[in-house]
C-alpha cells in the first residue's frame, strides 16, 4: 500500500478495524475447516447463527459481505456480473446477496425531503405512508399521494449514506492495493474491479441520473402498450429524492400470484425478452438488473419495469462486437467466435490460440445439435465465461455485464415459462442486425467517421514527421528502450561482482594477517565466509531460473 494511503487509514481507523475483524473471522473459518474439531468449529458463527467453518469459500465470501454492510453488498452484486473474473461458482453465490437494510426513521426521511425540496412532507404530499414499501442499500421507497391527487412512489436516500459509502470506497481502494500483492487474489483484478465498482456506485447515488433514465425509457417505449415505464416527476426530484408514478402490479418474484392472474404468461415472457433485446440492439441502453422483483405483471397483461439505478449504455462499436459474439454462438461458427474473443478481450501474453480455438470448437459442438427452441442460452454463456477465465481472457466490462444480464433474463423468464428459450427470441434479431448494418444511413455514418479519422491523421502526420526530422537534425532525437525481465539478471550480475570483490578483499586481509586473533585475520575470515554465503545464494538463484550451460 502506498504511504499516501496512511492518512485515510488513520481517518477511518474504526471502520478499518471493523472490516479487518470481519474478514479475519471468515478467513479463520477456512483454517478451522481443515481440522476435525467439532467443538471449535461450533464457536464461530455469523450474525444469523450459521456455523461458518462448515461453509464453502464462496459462501463465506457472501456471508462476510452481508455482514460488512450496504457498500460491500453492492460490491458483491457487481462482482456477480463478472463470472469471467471471479468464476461462475462465486458469481452464482453472490447473486444471492440481498440488501436487507433497516429503514430510516420517518423524522430522518422528512429531514432529507425538506432539505432537498425546500418544503415539508405535509406541504408536498397530501398523504405519505410512514412505513416504507422497501428499504435497499442506497435508499427506501414510500407510497404517497401528491397534492394534485396522483399516486406516487417516493424514493429517498438513506441519511448519511453518501458519507458512509465514501469511507467504504476509500477503504476498498486500500484493500484492493493489498489484494493486488497476493498471488491467489491477483487473478480477480482487485484494483480494476474496485475502480469499476466505484464508478457504478457513485452513479447510483445520483437520483437525478435515474430520473433521466426513466424519461429516456418512457419515451422509447411510449408506443408499446405491452411495456409500462413509471413516469418521473421532475419538479419533485433531486439528487437524493426521486418521485415517480406508483404502479400497481404483481412482482414476478411471486410466480404463484402471477399464475393466479389468468394472463397468458407465454406472451408476457416473450414481450419482456423482446423489450430487453430492443433496449440492447436498438437503443444501446439497457436496464442492467432484471431480477424478478424489478418486473411487475400489470392487470392488463403489460410488463412494468422498476429501479433504473443501474442502467448501462453501449457505444456502437462495442454493440457490434456483442452482436458478432452472439451471432457466432447462434450460427455455431467457431472460427468467427475465436476471432471475436481475440479482438475484444484482454488477452494475456503467450496465449495458446490453438488450444483456445479447439476448446471453443468443442464448446460450440456441444450445443450444435440442439434445436433453437430448446437451446438454453444461459448454460452456454456460463460455460463460455468459465472458458474465458481458464485462459485468463478478460472481456470488456459492458460486454461481460450484458452477457450476465442475458443469463439473468433467461432465468427470470423460465420461472414463468419453463420451456422458454431466449435463443428462439434472439434468432430473428440476426436478420435485423444484418439489415441495420447494411442500411444506407449506417454506412453513411460509418463513412463520415472514417473520413473524419483520415482527415485527423492527415493533419497530424506531417507535423509529427517535421518534429522528428527537426530533432534528428539538431541531435536531440532520443530512442527510449523499454526492457522487460532484465531486473533479475542485472541484480545477479551486481551481486556476483560484489561477491567477487568481497572475496578478493577478504583473501588479501587473511594473507596479510590484518587485525589477527591467534594468528588469524578476523575481518578477513568473516569476509570469506560472507562471500561464500553470497556465492551460494547466487548459485541457488541461477539454478532456480535455469543452469548456465542450458541450451535454448
Catalytic option among 84, 168, 289, 324: 289
* DSSP code, position 310: S
497 contact partners, CB below 8 Å, separation of at least 6: none
Vertex 183, ends 181 and 185: CA angle to 5°?
A: 85
DSSP string, 497-541: HHHHHHHHHHHHHHHTT-SEETTEEHHHHHHHHHHHHHHHHHHHH
Report CA-CA distances (Å) from 63 to 48, 168, 517: 10, 17, 66
How long a stretch of residues is the chain?
552
Using an 8 Å Cβ cutoff, are 116 and 241 in contact? yes
Integer CA distances (angstroms), 64 to 52, 174, 280, in order: 10, 18, 34
Q: Answer for the pair 276, 286: CB distance below 8 angstroms, yes or no.
A: yes
- At 228, is the secondary structure helix, strand, or coil? strand
What is the distance between the alpha carbons of residues 473 and 118, in angstroms, rounded to a whole number? Answer: 68
478 is catalytic: no
Tell me the Ramachandran region of residue 483: left when phi exceeds 0, alpha when psi lies from -120 to 50, beta otherwise.
Answer: beta
Tell me how far apart the alpha carbons of residues 471 and 486 are, in angstroms, rounded to a whole number.
29
CB neighbours of 374 closer than 8 A, spacing ≥ 6?
421
For 428, the grid coordinates are: 430473428
Grid coordinates representing 538?
Answer: 547466487
Cell 531460473 -> residue: 545
Write the Ramachandran bin of 69: left for phi over 0, alpha for psi from -120 to 50, otherwise beta.
left
Residue with C-alpha cell 437524493? 240
Helix, strand, coil share of the chain (percent; to 5) = 65, 10, 30
d(CA 119, CA 353): 64
List the catalytic residues.
289
Amino acid at each position: 500500500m502506498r504511504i499516501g494511503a496512511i492518512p485515510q487509514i488513520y481517518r477511518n481507523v474504526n471502520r478499518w478495524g471493523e472490516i479487518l475483524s470481519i474478514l479475519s473471522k471468515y478467513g479463520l473459518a477456512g483454517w478451522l475447516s481443515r481440522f476435525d474439531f467439532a467443538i471449535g468449529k461450533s464457536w464461530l458463527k455469523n450474525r444469523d447463527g450459521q456455523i461458518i467453518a462448515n461453509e464453502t469459500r464462496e459462501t463465506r465470501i457472501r456471508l462476510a459481505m452481508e455482514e460488512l454492510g450496504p457498500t460491500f453488498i453492492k460490491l458483491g452484486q457487481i462482482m456477480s456480473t463478472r463470472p469471467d473474473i471471479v468464476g461462475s461458482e462465486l458469481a452464482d453465490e453472490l447473486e444471492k446477496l440481498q440488501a436487507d437494510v433497516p429503514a430510516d426513521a420517518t423524522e430522518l426521511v422528512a429531514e432529507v425531503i425538506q432539505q432537498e425540496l425546500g418544503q415539508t412532507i405535509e406541504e408536498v404530499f397530501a398523504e405519505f405512508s410512514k412505513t416504507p414499501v422497501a428499504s435497499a442499500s442506497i435508499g427506501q421507497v414510500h407510497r404517497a399521494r401528491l397534492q394534485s391527487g396522483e399516486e406516487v412512489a417516493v424514493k429517498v436516500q438513506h441519511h448519511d449514506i453518501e458519507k458512509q459509502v465514501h469511507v467504504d470506497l476509500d477503504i476498498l481502494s486500500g484493500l484492493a492495493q493489498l489484494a493486488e500483492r497476493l498471488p491467489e487474489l491477483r487473478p480477480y483484478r482487485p484494483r480494476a474491479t474496485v475502480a469499476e465498482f466505484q464508478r457504478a456506485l457513485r452513479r447510483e447515488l445520483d437520483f437525478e441520473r435515474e430520473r433521466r433514465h426513466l424519461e429516456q425509457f418512457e419515451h422509447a417505449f411510449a408506443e408499446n402498450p405491452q411495456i409500462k415505464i413509471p413516469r418521473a416527476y421532475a419538479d419533485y426530484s433531486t439528487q437524493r429524492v426521486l418521485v415517480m408514478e406508483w404502479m400497481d402490479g404483481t412482482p414476478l418474484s411471486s410466480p404463484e400470484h402471477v399464475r393466479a392472474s389468468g394472463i397468458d404468461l407465454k406472451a408476457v415472457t416473450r414481450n419482456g425478452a423482446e423489450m430487453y433485446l430492443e433496449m440492447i440492439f436498438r437503443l444501446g441502453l439497457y436496464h442492467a438488473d432484471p431480477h424478478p422483483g424489478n418486473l411487475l405483471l400489470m392487470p392488463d397483461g403489460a410488463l412494468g419495469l422498476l429501479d433504473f439505478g443501474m442502467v448501462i449504455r453501449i457505444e456502437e462499436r462495442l454493440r457490434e462486437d456483442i452482436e458478432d459474439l452472439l451471432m457466432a454462438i447462434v450460427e455455431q461458427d467457431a472460427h468467427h467466435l475465436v476471432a471475436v474473443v481475440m479482438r475484444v478481450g484482454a488477452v494475456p501474453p503467450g496465449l495458446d490460440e490453438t488450444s483456445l480455438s479447439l476448446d471453443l470448437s468443442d464448446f460450440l459442438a456441444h450445443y450444435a445439435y440442439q434445436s433453437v427452441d430448446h437451446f438454453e442460452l444461459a448454460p452456454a454463456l456460463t460455460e463460455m465465461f468459465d472458458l474465458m477465465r481458464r485462459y485468463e481472457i478478460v472481456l470488456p466490462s459492458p460486454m461481460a455485464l450484458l452477457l450476465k444480464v442475458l443469463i439473468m433474463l433467461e432465468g427470470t423468464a423460465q420461472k414463468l415459462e419453463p420451456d422458454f428459450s431466449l435463443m428462439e427470441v434472439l434468432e430473428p434479431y440476426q436478420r435485423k442486425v444484418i439489415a441495420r448494418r447494411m442500411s444506407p444511413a449506417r454506412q453513411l455514418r460509418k463513412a463520415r467517421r472514417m473520413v473524419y479519422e483520415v482527415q485527423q491523421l492527415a493533419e497530424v502526420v506531417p507535423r509529427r514527421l517535421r518534429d522528428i526530422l527537426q530533432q534528428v537534425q539538431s541531435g536531440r532525437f532520443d530512442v527510449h528502450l523499454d526492457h522487460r525481465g532484465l531486473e533479475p539478471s542485472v541484480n545477479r550480475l551486481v551481486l556476483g561482482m560484489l561477491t567477487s570483490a568481497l572475496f578478493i578483499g577478504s583473501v588479501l586481509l587473511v594473507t596479510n594477517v590484518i587485525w589477527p586473533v591467534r594468528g588469524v585475520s578476523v575481518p578477513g575470515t568473516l569476509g570469506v565466509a560472507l562471500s561464500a554465503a553470497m556465492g551460494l545464494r547466487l548459485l541457488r538463484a541461477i539454478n532456480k531460473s535455469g543452469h548456465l550451460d542450458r541450451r535454448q
